[in-house]
Amino acid sequence: MSALSNSNWNRRNVLQAAMGLAAAGGLAACGGNTGRSGGGSGDALTQYFHAYGEAGTEQAIKRYAAAYKKADVKTNWITGSNFESALFAALLTKKAPDVFEFHPQIQMVKSGQVADLSDIINPVKDDFNPADIKSHTVDGKIYGVRMIDDPQFFFYRKSMLEKAKVDVPTTLDELLEAAEKLTTSKVKGVFLGNDLTPAINPLLWSAGADTLTADNKPAFHTDAVVAGMKQLRQLFTSGNLLLDAPADYWDPSAINQGLCAIQFCGMWAMPAMQQALGDDLGVFPFPKVGDNGKQSVYNGGWSMFVNAKGKNVDAAKEYVKWLWIDQKQYQEDWATSYGFHIPPRTSIAQSATKLKSGLPAEGVKLFNEFGHFDNIGWTQAMITALTDAFANSVRKNGDPNAALATAEKKVNAELKKLFG
């Protein structure tokens, strides 16, 4: 007989032990990551954030949540590159977040995924950047609160351009020439991201085209865009473009490590670049494409949404109002203390001292002068269609005209589903 058989375990003991474990598990769950130091009272809310690259951002979000007294707010900080997948998968379950950050998407409105936030935004609507309000509005209702605006443009090493006797490019032709002159055995001229997708929308706008027209028809298939794609293909095969960098365009390490002279990136990375390169840094918008184009800047950003199918919609809206509408000091802290972002609230943007001088002020100027905002009607399926067109023609050497025609067909099918 084994030693185990001598013990006094019986079914009752096992059941008691199991109940004890379950109770312990329940107690342990109470100590979850709520973002607060002690136990809280009131509603329990969950918010989803993608992992920002700037140091201190996670702690900041949890600090804001901890300061909210009407509910326990648990923060889910999702690392890796699959934030969208994790978010959308969670939204289908009972453990869906009450509050989450994302970009404005009409599909989410049509499917009833996000709650109408007009009632909390309308009283301060005039203090928001009108373009941000427009990009979150469907049929007169506002579905998200913009937290930050993220202009994206080119950063360049002034010393490298001076040494190569290159002026700041204002046209795509000039960018190609500059890339050639700046490329050495150790440094590539330009970095546009490992898959070139950051250049897609700026190329359209710089060529005088757009994703969709005002009445929601495809607006990207033009001769200027086709010509621009051919030029991008030329740059891609020239040997002057940095490819397969260890970190992608959103990370400043390519320019900071001296892998390239010019890098496309967002204003969020400006503090890290300034820390590494000091004053040897300048910015310029995406250059003009063709004769009728105009320089452009993509104003990305993140917005806060409330899960309309959640259990605590009212409490979630109250929390969003408290943090992203009432707490101006947190909004300014979020926009300027880690990476640099432009606060969507005009009053905060005007008082943010860190953005008033030097390179950040130049970034704000580009944002105001050349900025293009998200179109809520431009859905993920349409984004994928255009991304595929660029991948097939610019990277795979397909015919841009045919690739854009295919994308146009897919976008039209998507528009038909959305608007009939």
Partner 1 sequence: MSTTTTRGVAQPAPAKASPARPRRGLRGNPTFNFWLFTGPFLIGLVIFVFVPIVWSIWLSFFDARFTVTPSKFIGLDNYKSMLTNSNFTGSLVTFTVFAALIVPLTWALSLGLAMLVHRLRFMRAFFRSVFFLPTAVSYVAAALIWKMSIFTGVRFGLMNTVLGWFGVENIAYLSDPNPPWYWLVIVTVRLWLQSGFYMILFLAALQNIPAELYEAAAIDGAKPGWQTFRYITLPQLRATSTAVILLLLVAAYQAFDEFYNIVTTKATWGQTPLMVLYKTALGENQDYGAGSAGAVILTLLICLVTLLQGKFMGFGRGEDSK
Q: Which residues bind partner 1 (CB under 8 A)?
A: 84-85, 88-89, 91-92, 107-108, 111, 113, 186, 194-195, 197, 236, 239, 242-246, 259, 380-381, 383-384, 387-388, 391-392, 395-397, 417
**Residue with Cβ nearer partner 1 (257 or 346):** 257
Min CB(246)–partner 1 separation in Å? 5
From the CB of 119, what's the least distance to partner 1, in Å? 24
CB of 85 to partner 1, least distance (A): 5
- Residue 198 or 371: the one with the smaller Cβ distance to partner 1 is 198
**Shorter beta-carbon distance to partner 1: residue 289 or 389:** 389
Tokens of residue 185, six digits: 């055995």
Find the helix packing angle between 223-237 and 400-419, rounded to 10°: 130
Residue with tokens 């913009």: 146
CA nearest neighbour of 158 among 254, 242, 257, 262: 262
Residue 44: CA atoms inside 13 Å, Cβ hemisphere, count?
10
Contact present, 115 and 143 (Cβ < 8 Å): yes
Cβ nearer to partner 1, comparing 191 with 330: 191
Please identify, using beta-carbon distances, which residue of 37 and 93 lies nearer to partner 1: 93
The smaller minimum CB distance to partner 1, of residues 327 and 387, is found at: 387
DSSP for 114-130, written as a single string: B---HHHHGGGGGGB-H
CB of 222 to partner 1, least distance (A): 22
- The C-alpha angle 178, 184, 190, rounded to 5 degrees, equals 45
Tell me how far, at minimum, the Cβ of 185 lies from partner 1, in Å: 8
* DSSP-derived secondary structure letter, 4: G
Name beta bridge partners: 288: 171
| Beta carbons within 10 angstroms of residue 241's beta carbon | 20
Query: Angle of helix 380-390 relative to helix 400-419, nearest 10 degrees?
Result: 170
Rounded least distance, CB 388 to partner 1, Å: 5
The b/e string for 202-238 (b: 16+ C-beta within 10 A; e otherwise) is bbbbbbbbbbbeeeeebbbbbebbbbbbebbbebbee
Smallest gap from Cβ 108 to partner 1, in A, equals 7
C-beta closer to partner 1: residue 44 or 187: 187
